[in-house]
Amino acid sequence: MRKANPVLRVIAIVAILAVFLAPFWILTTISFKPSTDTSSYWLFSSTPTMNNIKAAIEKAGIFGAIGRTAFITVCVVVLEVIVSAFAAYPLARRNTKFNKVVQAFILGIMMVPPLSILVSLYSIIVSIHGVNQYWAVILVLLTYQLPQGIFLYANFIRSIPVALDEAATIDGCGPGRTFFLVIMPQLKPVTATVAILSSVNCWNDFQFSRYILQTSRMNTVTLSISSFFSQTYIDLSTATACALIAILPVVICFLILQKYFIQGMIDSSVK
């Protein structure tokens, strides 16, 4: 193997780090810059201030938005784990033609761009009085997260020996008890994957929340940040401080659970 040039390598590393860390650096410098400080965004202010952070917490109520987003995320993830694990079991175990059709249908939904059916989906949500209701955004997010969950669970269940199910059946378990007593206890690792992937998606969602949650008192993280940036009088520093606070939980979770995030990504991509 040819030895890579160490100098070139260092240059490459520095360039990569510069490009990928720059957004985070700029976000930080602006969040701590007083509004009177007109120095370059690249420079950390010589007179840093906490006012933007304070405004983000007190005026913009970013913690409230984080709380609402967390609530929606937890509801979606819990429901998704239950519904998709159940749905995956027959698809993994009963290879009838009909079930193959069902599975192809579910995989197809993964490709559907949700905005292509925006008009009718929104009109349906209006007709069931779902606008400005948490349950509506939870159900819609859940629906569009489900295919990935079902896919991951079905793949995982296929790797569990069928002999275990058969043994349970001989011992007199019905499909329900087989699922609860034999299959479920083994699903821990894949459940972590499903939960991690869909929490990121829910936490970062904008396209669904934007039209289902229209009142500002229900703003999620992305909604409150976007309302800040799109106001006519733009208080950019407060908006950036909101963004900084909002990404912290995700960044911290990622740094701690990195291994699971990346393994989950790989599991979900291999088709």
Partner 1 sequence: MQSKNRTINLFYVPALVLFAFFVVYPFVKGIYLSMTNWNGYSRSFKIIGLANYKNLFADKNVRRAFVNTLIYGAGSTVIQNILGILLAVFLNQKFRGRGFVRTVIYLPVMIAPLIMGYIMYFFFNYSRGALNDILKILSLAPVDWLADGNRSVWILTLVNSLQFVGISMVIYLAGLQNIPGMYYEAAAIDGINSSQKFFCITLPLLMPAITSAVTLNLIGGLKLYDVIIALTGGGPGYDTNSLSTLIYRYYFGGERAGYASAIGLVMFVFIMIVSNIVVRGLQKRQVEL
- Please list every residue from 213 through 232 that binds partner 1, using CB under 8 A: 221-222, 225-226, 229
- Should residue 13 be labelled a site residue for partner 1 when binding is judged by CB under 8 A? yes
- Should residue 64 be labelled a site residue for partner 1 when binding is judged by CB under 8 A? no
Please, which of residues 154-173 interact with partner 1 by CB under 8 A?
169
Give residue 87's Cα distance to chain centre.
21
CB of 119 to partner 1, least distance (A): 4
- Should residue 251 be labelled a site residue for partner 1 when binding is judged by CB under 8 A? yes
| Rounded CA separation 174/56 (Å) | 55
CB of 55 to partner 1, least distance (A): 16
Whichever of 51 and 226 has its CB closer to partner 1, that residue is 226
CB of 82 to partner 1, least distance (A): 9
Both tokens of 77, joined, read: 């993830």
Position among 83, 131, 184, 192 found at the interface with partner 1 (CB under 8 A): 83
- Should residue 254 be labelled a site residue for partner 1 when binding is judged by CB under 8 A? yes
- Should residue 153 be labelled a site residue for partner 1 when binding is judged by CB under 8 A? no
CB of 199 to partner 1, least distance (A): 11
| Rounded CA separation 138/143 (Å) | 9
Position among 7, 36, 40, 170 found at the interface with partner 1 (CB under 8 A): 40
Residue of 190, 222, 230 lying closest to 205 (CA atoms): 222
Position among 91, 137, 152, 190 found at the interface with partner 1 (CB under 8 A): 91
